[in-house]
Amino acid sequence: MRKQSRLLIAVIVMIAMLGLLAAGCGGSKPQETPKSQGPKGTLMIYTSIYPDIIELVKPELKKKFPDLDIQWFQAGTEKVMAKVAGEIEAKKVQADLLMVADPSYYITLKEQNLLLKYDSPNRKDVKINKDTEGYWTGVRISNMIIAYNTAKVSPADAPKSFQDLLDPKWKGRIAMPSPLLSGTAYVTAGVLSDKYGWDYFEKLKANGLKVEEGNSAIQNKLLRGEYHAVIILEENILKLAAKGEPVKVVYPEDGTIVIPSPIAIFNTSKNQEAAKAVLDWWLSKEGQEVVVKGWMHSVRDDVQPPQGAPALKTFIDKAFKPDWLKLSKENEKIKEIFRSKVLDNK
């Protein structure tokens, strides 16, 4: 009996030693760190969103997509369009995602069979500007409004409508961005010429209208008092007003120009899964809250408006109804008429 006990103990010891030896030789694997399941590689976004908004977005996207290298090309809508046109001609489109201001441009790209059809799961929550077939979706709402310098103009004297800018009291003190360089200004030129005819712009010119390269140039001159009232993007003025600058937004009585700028994926994208994931994020409540931090309105109705702005529903019913198809078809024609009516010195 003692012999059997000693034999059993010896066997147990031997098994234990063999186990230790196996562990020392790598028999058991160390615990591995779980790998990220998110998209990887590189993603290129072409956009007209302001650079400071891109800087606001970057850390949020990095947190959401740690293994994805997101690169950006930022410029005004017209410059982005020119870059894309060159790349289309060379049959080498570099962008994966497109986010420019002018919704009519996406109609043109769709007709050229350049966009990827994608029904994002978050599209159901988007309330404005969804292509019925899924080729683009509204991602941010920019509004062209009137703004004035409160140090130069009293609320009682401020313009209440686009027509009010024809009053001689504004002569030489009014401005707008160029439709030849700004997508939102192009929409504005198309919308106001449809509503009031090109005579409206001829009268504005006679009243001393200045045309600047973009909204940023106008906001700076409005601040300095060179201009007293301007046609400009709402987001520029909201941002300045939040800093205590003497500027104020007017939502025109004859209608705000509401521009629901889209997001879309090029069908030439080499990283379509990543493009879809990032598009999903932009349309999510989390992504839309970042849009609002950038002083733009959300395309969802479960996200609050930007600081200092009323809810979209308070003025969208009175907003102009742009003819997006016409704007896509007559781009060059509208720009040429504006050039001849307003920019040419005659």
Question: 52-65: per-residue pLDDT in tens?
Answer: 999 999 999 999 99
Residues 157 and 134 in one domain: no
Q: Are residues 218 and 298 in the same domain?
A: no
Residue 344, pLDDT score? 87
pLDDT at 7 > cutoff 70 = no
Residue 36 lies inside a defined structural domain of this protein: no
For residue 172, is it within any domain?
yes
Q: Quick one: pLDDT at residue 346? A: 53
Beta strand spans in the chain (E):
41-47, 68-74, 97-99, 137-149, 174-177, 210-212, 229-233, 247-250, 257-265
Give residue 176's pLDDT.
98
Angle between helical axes of 77-89 and 183-196 (0-180°, round to 10)? 110
**18 compared with 94, residue with greater pLDDT:** 94
Q: Give the tens place of pLDDT for each residue, 287-313.
A: 999 999 999 999 999 999 999 999 999
pTM above the 0.85 mark? yes
Q: Is residue 14 part of a domain?
A: no
Are residues 235 and 206 located together in one domain of the fold? yes
Structure tokens, 284: 């999510």
pLDDT tens by residue, 167-182: 999 999 999 999 999 9
Co-location of 195 and 241 in the same domain: yes
Whether the Cβ atoms of residue 81 and residue 46 lie closer than 8 Å to each other: no
Residue 28 lies in a domain: no
Task: Give me the percent of the chain exceeding a pLDDT of 90.
Answer: 88
Q: In whole angstroms, what is the distance from residue 110 CA to residue 28 CA?
A: 56
Q: What is the pLDDT of residues 239-279, one digit of tens each?
A: 999 999 999 999 999 999 999 999 999 999 999 999 999 99
Both 70 and 147 in a single domain?
Answer: no
> Are 156 and 244 found together in one domain?
yes
Q: How many domains does the chain have?
A: 2
**Given this model, what pLDDT does residue 6 score?**
56
Predicted pLDDT at 58? 96
- What CATH number should be reported for the domain holding residue 94? 3.40.190.10
Q: Give residue 73's pLDDT.
A: 98
Question: ∠ CA 215-225-223 to the nearest 5 degrees?
Answer: 50
Residue 283 reports pLDDT greater than 50 = yes
